[in-house]
Each structure stands twice: as C-alpha cells, then as structure tokens.
C-alpha cells in the first residue's frame, strides 16, 4: 500500500506542499487520538467561551484549534493562518510561502453524541508583501487554492485531499501512516440521495422549495425517481458520502437571518469542499455561481452551498435562473 508521502511524490507534488501536508496530518492524528479517547480524556462537553461566530466552543474545538495552530506556527512554510475559532488571522513566519485556512473541528455539535466530525483545510499562496495576519491576504477566490482537503474522524480516520490533480483518499493505519485507499475519486453524475436540513423548509427561497418539492414527489413527480434523504449535521461527513457514492448537499440561504448569505463559511468550508467536489467531477455553487469564483470580502463570511452530483446541481441552478428571470 502506498503511503501518503510516496503517493504525493509520485504525482510530482511540490515538495514544500508535501512537507506542509505532512505537518498538518501530524496535528490531525493527535486530534483523532483525543477524539477516540473521548470521555476517558475528559475532552467532551463545552467550554465557557464563544467563538467569533457566536457559537459556544466545545473543549475539542479549542483543543483541535490549538494543536493545528501550534504546528502551523512552527512550520517555516506558513506565513499565516486563519481559523473558524480565531477572530483574526494569525501571522506565523515572515518567510513562509503558504497561508492556511481551516475549520479545526467541523460538525462539533456531534462530538458528545459520538458521531463523525472532521478537520477541513484550504491552502493558498501567500501574497509577496503580506505579513500573514492581514485579512486581505486571505481574501482570494477559491480558484486560487493550491490544495484543499479534510480529515474525517469516523469509524476510520480518512484524509481526502486534492492538489489540483484529482481527489485521493488515505486511511490512517495503526502505525500512524496514511495509506492510499482510493485514487482519482469521481462523484457520480446522477443520484437519488439529497442532504438538507428539512426543518428549515419554510425559510427557504422559492427555487429551493420548488426543487425539494420535486424530489419529494418521487416517481410521480418531474424527476421521475424516488429519492432518499440523509442529514448528519456534519458537512465533512456529508461531503465524504457524496465523494464516495454521489448525492447533493445543500445549505442554502434562508430568511431566518436574511442579512447572512448562508450558514457555512466560505474560506474554510465552502472553498475547500468545492475544490474537492469539482476536482472529482461534481459541481459546487452558491445557487447562482460557482463558489470558487466568489470574491471574498471577509475572512469569516458565509456562503450558500449546493454541491455534489452534476445533474442535481444543474437543476438547482436552473430553478434559480428561472426565478430570477421572472
């Protein structure tokens, strides 16, 4: 079985990028170990703190953030980092080549119920003249990412990564090595499975209501087939399912907080997941345009997300175009 470093080198991956990826995996392996200790390590439950998103931080949110922040700050290749758990970007090394944006523990509301969570990361080139802590240095469209991926802490610990040459998956062995377990992952063009939080149905825009109503009509409806639904409340697990067997994942804008474009964050959820999905032949839009074309204006800005099997994302986009034309 090919190890992560061997595989990346076989794909002629930039050697400094390989070094950075390996460093991040070291931190993620520590997170994985803490998660698997769970209650035995006294890491479950909440802290007294709130993050910049106004969400109460889980102990493991803070622990995962601190582990990644420490290791990235130590790495000569990293100019700066931005985290869901940090109000502002953090300058690391003035000669560093890369910027790293990450969600240290996505889906953390699932930790205490022992359901899959994950780390999501996005790697950008640092602009020549930046110090690494300027928000504007990070505000690059998703198409500028040099690499993106996630580490899934589930029944097994799996890394899914792309450096722009397809999507590949690696499983963590007992010896602490990540081994190639899937090469050139492809998202099936069609699906019968959708993922959305149906409890928000009454708050959605009309085109989303129309699209989901079509799916729920099954064989008798306009799509002519029966759909199944999944909702894990952990984007990283939903995206992994879609990369594994297809599907469509949606967290669209809704009128509960109309001033926010969506719930999910662009820089360290929307963009990295979009790079993975597009590299695997799927599509990822904010209902009207590719997510990776969006010009960021704030490090923690949110985005509406519709991603997965091409056929379904195309229908969602068409319904929005028809609604906008009226």
User: Closer to ligand P6P at the Cβ: 116 or 163?
Assistant: 116
Query: Which is closer to ligand P6P, CB of 96 or CB of 107?
Result: 107
Closer CB to ligand P6P, residue 14 or residue 55? Answer: 55
Binding site for ligand P6P (CB under 6 A): 106-107, 109, 197, 233-235, 251, 263-264
The gap from C-alpha 110 to its chain's centroid, in whole angstroms, comes to 16
Of 84, 78, 50, 80, the residue nearest 64 (C-alpha)? 84
Q: Which is nearer to ligand P6P, 107 or 142 (CB)?
A: 107
Are the beta carbons of 60 and 111 closer than 8 angstroms?
Answer: yes
Q: How far is the CB of 164 from ligand P6P (least distance, A)?
A: 24
Q: Are 100 and 120 in contact (CB under 8 A)?
A: no
Cβ–Cβ under 8 Å, residues 83 and 68: yes
**Minimum CB distance to ligand P6P, residue 122 (Å):** 15
Shortest Cβ 263–ligand P6P spacing (Å): 6
What is the closest distance, in whole angstroms, from the C-beta atom of residue 86 to ligand P6P in the complex? 16
Q: Which is nearer to ligand P6P, 59 or 79 (CB)?
A: 59
Token pair belonging to 264:
């999910």
- C-alpha–C-alpha distance, residues 233 and 223, integer Å: 26
DSSP calls for 109-157? GGGGGT--EEEEEEEEEPPTT--S--HHHH---GGG-SEEEEEEESSSE
Q: Which is nearer to ligand P6P, 257 or 314 (CB)?
A: 257
Residue nearest to ligand P6P (CB): 235
Contacts of residue 257, Cβ cutoff 8 Å, sequence gap at least 6: none
Task: Please report how close the Cβ of residue 236 comes to ligand P6P at its closest, in angstroms.
Answer: 6
Q: What is the C-alpha to C-alpha distance for residues 34 and 130, in angstroms, rounded to an integer?
A: 35
Q: Which residue has the tokens 């995996």?
A: 25
Query: How many helices (DSSP H) and strands (DSSP E) are in the chain?
Result: 8, 17
Q: How far is the CB of 256 from ligand P6P (least distance, A)?
A: 10
């Amino acid at each position: 079985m090919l190890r992560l470093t061997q595989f990346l080198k076989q794909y002629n991956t930039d050697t400094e990028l390989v070094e950075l990826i390996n460093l991040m995996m070291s931190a993620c392996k520590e997170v994985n170990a803490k998660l698997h200790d769970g209650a035995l390590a006294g890491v479950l439950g909440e802290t007294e703190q709130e993050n910049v998103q106004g969400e109460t931080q889980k102990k493991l949110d803070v622990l995962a953030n601190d582990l990644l922040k420490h290791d990235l700050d130590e790495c000569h290749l990293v100019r700066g980092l931005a985290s869901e758990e940090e109000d502002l970007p953090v300058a690391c090394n003035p000669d560093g080549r890369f910027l790293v944006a990450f969600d240290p523990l996505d889906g953390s509301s699932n930790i205490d119920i022992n359901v899959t969570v994950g780390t999501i990361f996005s790697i950008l080139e640092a602009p020549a003249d930046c110090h690494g802590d300027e928000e504007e240095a990070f505000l690059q469209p998703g198409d500028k990412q040099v690499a993106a991926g996630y580490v899934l802490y589930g029944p097994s610990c799996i890394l899914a990564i792309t450096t722009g040459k397809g999507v590949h998956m690696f499983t963590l062995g007992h010896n602490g090595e990540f081994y190639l377990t899937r090469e050139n992952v492809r998202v099936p063009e069609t699906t019968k499975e959708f993922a959305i939080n149906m409890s928000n149905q009454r708050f959605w825009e009309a085109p989303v209501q129309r699209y989901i109503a079509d799916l729920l009509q099954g064989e008798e409806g306009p799509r002519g087939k029966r759909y199944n639904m999944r909702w894990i409340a952990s984007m990283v697990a939903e995206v992994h399912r879609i990369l594994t067997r297809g599907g469509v994942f949606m967290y669209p804008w809704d009128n509960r907080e109309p001033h926010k474009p969506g719930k999910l964050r662009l820089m360290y959820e929307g963009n990295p997941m979009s790079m993975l999905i597009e590299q695997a032949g799927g599509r990822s839009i904010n209902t009207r345009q590719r997510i990776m074309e969006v010009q960021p204006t704030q490090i923690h800005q949110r985005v509406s997300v519709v991603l997965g099997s091409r056929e379904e994302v195309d229908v969602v986009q068409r319904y929005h175009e028809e609604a906008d034309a009226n």
